[in-house]
Structure 1
Amino acid sequence: MILYPAIDLKGGQCVRLLRGEMDAATVYNDDPAAQARAFRDAGCAWVHVVDLDGAFAGRPVNGDAVRAILGAVDVPVQLGGGIRDRAGIDRWLEAGVARVVLGTVALRDPDLVIAACRAHPGRIAVGIDARGGKVAVEGWAETAEITATDLALKFEDAGVAAIVFTDIDRDGALQGPNLDATGALARRLSTPVIASGGVSSLDDLKAIATLAGDGVAGAIVGRALYDGRVDPAEAARVLAEAA
């Protein structure tokens, strides 16, 4: 299992939101590249980056910060937020992003996701963010009628590298991950699932590790790392030992 430390970008800074509310942002670092280096130096094998402004604008906004991160670390970077067309997908992958996470466009234009998977095998993930089990898009500002599971099933044979599943109600709240929903989703899919939202302790990560057999392949952790509740090196070790 892989630890994905999260760098969420707003106004060029590393922030964390509470339940996806842009007005409830806490700034943790004004140097995203330095934050990425700190995670790498702690032994993290990946970095998960989200352009929050881009998610709301529908286009990349924090491109300079993303490029600075790419130039600062030699570990693979997973990027989501505001990537809504083929040109954007191709551009970021050519720039050095290891994996692009497609969220809103996965709901709006699933054929684009399928085509991108064919063109870039193993480098496209689908981000599914759920509120009350229903998919939320446009930076979590809108909730659709489709369930997270039904959307994920649309991409079962597309060659998606992973489904990044976020429970919005847990995100940034430090209330523990939604193990039931994450495990249930993973058991319905052959595509690996990356858990996101709510991790507040090593015990939470150990609980996620028990879902390895269900198809959960990693966990994204944000606020708990920045608050010092979870040590990144220890977190990476706990997940790496999951069987």
Structure 2
Amino acid sequence: MILYPAIDLKDGQCVRLLRGDMDAATVFNASPADQAASFARAGADWIHVVDLNGAFSGQSENGDAVSAIIAAAGDKVKIQLGGGIRSVDHVAAWLDRGVSRVILGTVAVKQPDIVTAACTAFPGKVAVGIDARGGKVAVEGWAETTEQDATDLAKRFEDAGVAAVIYTDIDRDGAMQGVNVQATKAMADAVALPIIASGGVSSLDDLRALKEAGGIAGAISGRALYDGRIDLAEAMALLAEEEA
């Protein structure tokens, strides 16, 4: 199981939100590049980056910060980017700039053909981000909750060539209340795609629970890494030991 340390960008800074509320942002590092370098030094293989402003506006708003993260992370660390990416051309532009995997969220609900086209054009480079509140998909930076069932949406893309599904439980995100292992495991069992858990990963016990559940490809953690509840190097060593 892969651990993805998270960098959420708001107004050029590294922040964490509480349940997706842009007015409840805590700044953890004014320099996203420094944060990326820190994760790289700790041994991260991937960094999960979200342009929060872009998720709301529908276009990239923190491009300079993302570019700085790519440069600071170095050649050995892959960058996974979401937030405001709404077209195949936009996917192509970010891949050209050094992002390893692009996440499509809102368009997966509103324009699913874009996901299919992007997967065809860039095999293995496109993930679908499914953010759910009470099991229903939320879009537009979580500002709008739809009637679309999260698992049903994931199933729609099983044959599209999607590299992974990033499943976020909005009610747990940033709340430090633990990850929703049951819902994540249920999606992993129901869908023939790698599932990455996001939202509420707040301790080594959470990572251990996800690992022991089986069938879950990865986990994203943000706030717990910043406030010291999870040590990145220790967590990666734990996952490596369990996979050995």
State the TM bucket, normalised to the shorter chain. over 0.9
Question: How much does 1:18 deviate?
Answer: 0.3
1:138-217 counterparts in 2 under 5 A? Answer: 138-211=140-213, 213=214, 215-217=215-217
Q: Which amino acid aligns with 1:56?
A: F
Q: Against the structure 1 CA distance between its residues 241 and 105, is the aligned structure 2 distance closer, same or farther, given a 3 Å change threshold?
A: farther
Question: How much does 1:238 deviate?
Answer: 2.1
Provide the TM-score with structure 2 as the length reference: 0.97
Aligned partner of 1:76 in structure 2 is 78
Distance of 2:242 and 2:195 partners within structure 1: 14
Q: CA RMSD, aligned part only?
A: 0.8
Question: How much does 1:51 deviate?
Answer: 0.1
Question: How much does 1:39 deviate?
Answer: 0.4
Aligned partner of 2:92 in structure 1 is 90
1:100-139 counterparts in 2 under 5 A? Answer: 100-139=102-141
CA contact (8 A) 1:218 1:239 kept: no
Unmatched tracts of structure 2, length 5 or more: none
Question: How much does 1:242 deviate?
Answer: 4.0
Q: How many residues align?
A: 241
Query: Secondary structure of 1:216's match?
Result: coil
CA contact (8 A) 1:129 1:135 kept: yes
Distance of 2:106 and 2:237 partners within structure 1: 32
Question: How much does 1:240 deviate?
Answer: 3.0
Query: Secondary structure of 2:14's match?
Result: strand
Provide the TM-score with structure 1 as the length reference: 0.98
CA contact (8 A) 1:177 1:196 kept: yes
Aligned partner of 1:231 in structure 2 is 231
Residue 59 of structure 2 is aligned to residue 59 of structure 1? yes
Aligned partner of 1:13 in structure 2 is 13
Residue 28 of structure 2 is aligned to residue 28 of structure 1? yes
Aligned partner of 1:220 in structure 2 is 220
CA contact (8 A) 1:174 1:200 kept: yes
Unmatched tracts of structure 1, length 5 or more: none
**Cα displacement string for residues 29-66 of structure 1 (whole angstroms, at most 9, x for unaligned residues):** 00001100100101111000000000000100000000
**Cα displacement string for residues 138-187 of structure 1 (whole angstroms, at most 9, x for unaligned residues):** 00000010110010000001110000000000000000000110000000
